[in-house]
Chains A and B, each alone.
Chain A
Amino acid sequence: MSPDLAITLVYVGYALAVLLTFGAVLTWVERKQAALMSDRIGANRAYLRIPFTQVKLIWLGLFHGMADGLKLLLKEDFKPITYDKLGYALGPWLAFTPVVLVFAVIPFGGTLDPGRLFPGLADWFGGRTYPMQIAPLDAGLLVVFAFGGISIIGAMLAGWSSSNKFSMLGALRAGSQMISYELVMGLTVLGLILIYGTVDLTAIVQHQSGTVLGFLPAWGIVYQPFAAILFITAGIAENKRIPFDLPEAESELISGYFTEYSAMKQGMFMLSEFIEIAIIAALFTTLFLGGYNLPWLTDAGFVFPGGTAIALGHGWVVVIQLLTFLGKVFLLCSFQILIRWTLPRFRWDQLLSFAWRFLLPLSIANLVVTAVAVWALG
């Protein structure tokens, strides 16, 4: 096994573990945060009992997610009589896979030097360093949007092949909504691409490692605060969550495009929704919050503006970068959940006019201003 393959496998394992953990934990976070926001306690009854004892592990209701997952796995897998069995079976996978794949191009840490981390393996690695990213592609941001486009197909396919009017309406709504907001998302990100001059996510994050004006971290949100707001709005709309949950619209369409799905197939849609929260948070972190960068943290340790420096070993820097990225992602997930439990839903016509007549002109204006500023400031 070559060292490249080993490192990539480790990255893939890390990414999958992180994403699935986020997917599982976010269901709990969503319940608990919603409860705290409305002066309630939240789910706190499921427990694990240590065998042969009366010790019940409740852990703030953390095991409700496990109970839900078990229930989804054990439920009857109901299948509607449909003319398109293949499409029906493919639907959840096409909705789930692209969401997870997006994480492949997101840098979740700085540069890893495994030779320094494990001196015993230094000869095998031969001094090679690896950016902490599964696929260090030059076209990183384009890949993100490509996969974002594929997940529309999953929702559409699920809706069309369910042979159910509710599903079909949900699919139509999902298609038009996701296409509209994909456009807004792309246009907002163009401003960043103009500033950084690259679509390589690693390079974008490295651009954000310094400081501006001496004290502000050089994060994208400092350069493009407007684009950050538009991006998170379009991101939540992409994810089809309240206030943009028209494709699922429980009060009108039962569950929208996945009405006819049950058991773990429905669980796949749920899980992909929760993972997409984390993905959007990770993208936002990468583009606007400096990714794994902490202010004044360099590869050698902290270097504060006053001249004081704290030297840190390579292992510590890697751990701090990983934790910084996860922490930012988690805070943004929490922020998205805050939005989901605060804002009421749009009407369908409001939703589309919000995209085309409000967000799109704003993002174009943002792009024009950015282009002029980049041209003027060189």
Chain B
Amino acid sequence: MSSRKPYVRKRYWNEPEMGWYERAYFFEVWRGLRITGGVFLANLWKWMTGRKGALTAYYPEEIRADYAAHNRGKHILTQRPDGRPQCVACNMCATVCPAQCIEIDAAFDPDDPAHPKYPSRFEIDYSRCVFCGMCVEACPEDAIRMLKETPELPGFDRGRMWITQDELLNWQPRQDVAKPYPVTPARRPEGTP
């Protein structure tokens, strides 16, 4: 009467192609157990002989080794030869900062007529910093730069996630391509630019 094809139930899964060896189940289970057991014993042996048997990095204690070569994670302030910050507290970095995480208090230094304005407080809130590097680009004095290190970010308290001026100023380069500093930092004589 009707020439419709008989209803065939739709198969939602792939039909496995297995011979008797796979169907016997035991051999394949044994193969799987050998693989996982081998990994387990190898890792156990590594741990027992004082090595690390895991790919995981202990996060706060350990900095992962695979940061990119162009990663820039920590700000520093460059210094004049006498050790004072190069920064003239112009606030351009704080203005351009998209995260608004740089805070600068300017102060007046009557002893240095060439750079009478200096930062008395220069702090960055690392809980908000997005590490975009715009502060570095905005700086007219090459006073702020970013290093490849990563800041010690994790903490239990937002208030402790600020990097202070002291910490920003402890960058002690042996040599700096941009600024050939004299070997012995000395205060320049009055009047020289």
Residues in A neighbouring B25, C-beta threshold 8 A: 354, 358
Known A41-B54, A41-B56, A41-B58; judge A36-B33 contact (CB<8 A).
no
* B18 vs chain A, min Cβ distance (A): 13
B32 close to A36 (CB less than 8 A): no
B33 close to A229 (CB less than 8 A): no
A343 on the B face (CB < 8 A): yes
Known A36-B40, A39-B53; judge A342-B58 contact (CB<8 A).
no
A339 on the B face (CB < 8 A): yes
- The listed residue (B37, B43, B58) touching A338 by CB distance below 8 A is B37
Number of interface residues of B (CB under 8 A): 18
Beta-carbon contacts under 8 Å, B58-110 to A:
58
Known A33-B40, A229-B26, A358-B25; judge A40-B56 contact (CB<8 A).
yes
B134 on the A face (CB < 8 A): no
* B22 vs chain A, min Cβ distance (A): 13
Residues in A neighbouring B35, C-beta threshold 8 A: 342
B153 on the A face (CB < 8 A): no
Residues in A neighbouring B37, C-beta threshold 8 A: 37, 338, 342
B54 close to A343 (CB less than 8 A): no
B40 close to A40 (CB less than 8 A): no
Known A39-B54, A39-B55, A41-B56; judge A343-B32 contact (CB<8 A).
yes
Chain B 23-47: CB-based contact to A (< 8 A → 1; otherwise 0) = 0011001001101110110011001
Beta-carbon contacts under 8 Å, A262-295 to B:
none
Residues in A neighbouring B54, C-beta threshold 8 A: 35-36, 39-41
* B147 vs chain A, min Cβ distance (A): 29
Chain A 33-51: CB-based contact to B (< 8 A → 1; otherwise 0) = 1011111110000000000
- The listed residue (B29, B33, B39) touching A39 by CB distance below 8 A is B39
Residues in B neighbouring A38, C-beta threshold 8 A: 39
* A38 vs chain B, min Cβ distance (A): 8
Known A36-B53, A40-B56, A41-B58; judge A338-B26 contact (CB<8 A).
no
- The listed residue (A37, A40, A229) touching B36 by CB distance below 8 A is A37
Most chain-A CB neighbours within 10 Å: which of B26, B32, B40, B56?
B40
Known A36-B40, A36-B44; judge A342-B33 contact (CB<8 A).
yes
A341 on the B face (CB < 8 A): yes
Residues in B neighbouring A35, C-beta threshold 8 A: 54
In the bound complex, how far is the Cα of B36 from the Cα of A36, in angstroms? Answer: 9
* A325 vs chain B, min Cβ distance (A): 23
Residues in A neighbouring B53, C-beta threshold 8 A: 36, 39
Residues in B neighbouring A358, C-beta threshold 8 A: 25
Residues in A neighbouring B43, C-beta threshold 8 A: 36-37, 39
In the bound complex, how far is the Cα of B30 from the Cα of A339, in angstroms? Answer: 10
Residues in B neighbouring A343, C-beta threshold 8 A: 29, 32
Known A33-B40, A39-B43, A41-B58; judge A342-B26 contact (CB<8 A).
no
A342 close to B55 (CB less than 8 A): no
Closest residue to A243 on the B side, CB-wise? B29
In the bound complex, how far is the Cα of B53 from the Cα of A176, in angstroms? Answer: 42
In the bound complex, how far is the Cα of B32 from the Cα of A342, in angstroms? Answer: 7
Closest residue to A339 on the B side, CB-wise? B33
* A57 vs chain B, min Cβ distance (A): 17
B56 close to A342 (CB less than 8 A): no
In the bound complex, how far is the Cα of B33 from the Cα of A341, in angstroms? Answer: 9
In the bound complex, how far is the Cα of B56 from the Cα of A35, in angstroms? Answer: 10
Chain B 143-168: CB-based contact to A (< 8 A → 1; otherwise 0) = 00000000000000000000000000
Closest residue to A338 on the B side, CB-wise? B37
B36 close to A342 (CB less than 8 A): yes
Residues in B neighbouring A41, C-beta threshold 8 A: 54, 56, 58
A338 close to B40 (CB less than 8 A): yes
In the bound complex, how far is the Cα of B39 from the Cα of A41, in angstroms? Answer: 13
Beta-carbon contacts under 8 Å, A326-353 to B:
338-339, 341-343
Closest residue to B46 on the A side, CB-wise? A36
In the bound complex, how far is the Cα of B110 from the Cα of A116, in angstroms? Answer: 96
* A3 vs chain B, min Cβ distance (A): 44
* B110 vs chain A, min Cβ distance (A): 48
Known A41-B56, A338-B33, A342-B36; judge A36-B47 contact (CB<8 A).
yes
In the bound complex, how far is the Cα of B37 from the Cα of A193, in angstroms? Answer: 32
User: What are 6 A-to-B residue pairs whose CB atoms are below 8 Å?
Assistant: A37-B39, A39-B54, A40-B54, A41-B56, A338-B33, A342-B36
Q: 5 shortest A-B CB distances, which residue pairs?
A: A36-B43, A342-B36, A37-B40, A41-B54, A41-B56
Q: Which chain A residues have a beta carbon within 8 Å of chain B's beta carbons?
A: 33, 35-41, 229, 338-339, 341-343, 354, 358
